[in-house]
Amino acid sequence: MSQRILFLGPPGAGKGTQAQLLCDSSGLLHLSTGDLLRAEVKAGTDLGLEAEAVMGRGELVSDDLVLAIVRSRLSSHAGGWLLDGFPRNLAQAEALETLLAELGQPLEQVVLLELDDSPLVERLLGRGRADDNETVIRHRLSVYAEQTAPLIEHYRQQGLLVNVEASGTVEAIASRISTALD
């Protein structure tokens, strides 16, 4: 199986859920920028204070801040990894490519989790995190469409993209992902 994987998809597609399962069974490092940012918020660091307001509005935290987190984690890890929720725009994707070239660890596969808006909103309302009210969710979906969705074409052109239908049970989706990964 690929050792350097990225999960792409709209908020609520289940990136975090599926990444956790796959990393538990494969031993890959699970690197979720959302989880790492929430840990900073919880710890009350300067970085967390800056991120909290931005996340609460459903917008993207600054590229520099997110990249610093990813750089520090990837530089200190020798094995395989799964990036969940990063990159979220073209600038982050380009910065990631530069970092991975420096580390000599090219990306091997990008899994796109695909789901329509209406089940996404339903799932996120059910999750009930601080940034999961309907107005913020709608805004996150539009931020995804404008800033993150262009990455689909970017990775398709690089021949790295595999599409996975993200509807159905957690187990059914996990099984589709494992079939899709080389």
* Contacting positions for ligand B4P (CB under 6 A): 9, 11-17, 33-34, 37, 54-55, 58, 60-61, 66, 85-86, 88, 92, 123-124, 126-127, 140, 169-170, 173
CB of 124 to ligand B4P, least distance (A): 6
Closer to ligand B4P by Cβ: residue 2 or 58: 58
| Nearest CB to ligand B4P, comparing residues 41 and 161 | 41
Report which residue's Cβ sits closest to ligand B4P: 34
- The one-letter code for the residue type at 173 is I
Residues 6 or more apart whose Cβ sits within 8 Å of residue 62: 50, 54
- Rounded CA-CA distance 105/79 in Å is 10
Q: Are 71 and 95 in contact (CB under 8 A)?
A: no
| Minimum distance of ligand B4P from residue 156's CB (angstroms) | 20
Q: CB of 157: closest distance to ligand B4P in angstroms?
A: 21
Cβ proximity to ligand B4P: between 2 and 17 the closer is: 17
Residue 16 Cβ vs ligand B4P, minimum distance, rounded to whole Å: 3
Task: From 7, 62, 70, select the one nearest 33 (Cα to Cα).
Answer: 70
Structure tokens at 140: 């996150």
The CA-based angle 95-101-106, given to 5 degrees, is 100
- Residues forming a β-bridge with 67: none
